[in-house]
Amino acid sequence: MNSHDKSAPDHLLIKIEQRDDPVSMISEDDARRRSLAYPKTMWGAPIFGLAEELDAGRWRIIRLDAEEPQYARDSLAHHLHRRHSETPDTPENATERAECEAAYELLDWEPVNDLTVNGRRYRIIRAQPFIRMGPDGPEPPRPTDPDPYPPGQAEKAPSQMEGFVIDPTAGTGLTDGIVRMEMTSAFHRAETVPEEVRADSYRALDTHPNAVLLPVGFTIGGYVDGSWRPKSFDAYPTPQAARDAGSFSIVRPRMDETTTIEEFMAACERARAAHQPPRTDDFEMNGVPCRVTRVETFVRVGPDGPEGPRPSDHDSQPPPARHVADLRAQGLMPDPD
């Protein structure tokens, strides 16, 4: 992992750079202080998305927000379908359109994780979110984390994941470099984790031996039954976006078997109108102590790029066309006229 080792393959590099500008120095000091104050990590469920290869070793994230690999494959199919529809139907574009059509039709039937279309290589990728924990609970936002939008307007914040380039050779600060080195050797050890999950996690140390940190996100943690729990590891791009959306989800009305969808939507509108997003990192909602919580994410990389889904990853749905065919074969869906 040494940056001075010129013989090391690019996918094994962790290049630590000395950054002397004031902003970098303050950010580095923040990171060092927080690593001491919040020394433990708590992993969430993996997230999945799709990325496009730019050149050898560098991949651009198109989307990264799926709970299961198939949802990411569906996003890839949609991406290719849009490319097909946006490409003019002319003789010179016939081959490009035909490749796009063949690719998204294949994805309708087969769980493909790596696909080349019109010379562009796409991959379903797997990323691992985690939060830092300390004696007082989860790590809140750092003073240097950007938070430019006021309460109620944070939905304007763009995604930091979309367009991010996964590049193991890119320079990094000292503290982030240490985190990357920690993550390269991290795997599931807990006995509570199923054996196949632990085996896949350990195998990834060999197949994808490096780790790249992705942009930081934010969620809401709640103190319930004597312990802090993140509401979810779904991360928002800024602290205020998490305050706006995450806190509203706590006060949002609940449905029961007697509630109509119209009544529920009307109740949501009333709750949204009355909701005042908090301005602080620690607040209380419905009697529950809450904290805006910092979510870090890394993706493992190997000689052929970022890691894809593992055999043990939860993948509950087959591709859509196959799913429909299975339902029809079971008599659970009528045949088309």
Question: Quick one: pLDDT at residue 42?
Answer: 92
pLDDT in tens, 60-82: 999 999 999 999 999 999 999 99
Any residues with CB less than 8 A from the CB of 5 and at least 6 apart, and which? none
Kindly provide the residue ranges of all beta strands, DSSP E only, lying in the chain, ordered along the sequence.
40-43, 47-55, 58-66, 114-117, 120-134, 137-138, 165-166, 210-213, 217-224, 227-230, 282-285, 288-302, 305-306
Q: pTM score, two decimals?
A: 0.88
Reply yes or no on whether the pLDDT at 282 is more than 60.
Answer: yes
| Domain boundaries along the sequence of the chain | 136-157+214-306
| 298-336 tens-digit pLDDT | 999 999 999 999 999 999 999 999 988 888 888 877 887
Residue 12 in this model has a pLDDT that exceeds 80: yes
For residue 135, give the nearest of 40, 35, 233 by alpha carbon. 40
Mean pLDDT calculated for residue range 148-169: 90
Per residue in 216-259, pLDDT (tens digit) is 999 998 898 899 988 777 799 999 999 887 666 666 667 777 88
Kindly state the tokens that stand for 160. 């930091």
275 vs 303 pLDDT, higher one: 303
- Provide the pLDDT for residue 4: 46
Task: Tell me the per-residue pLDDT of 71-115, one tens digit each, with 9 for 90 and over.
Answer: 999 999 999 999 999 999 999 999 999 999 999 999 999 999 999
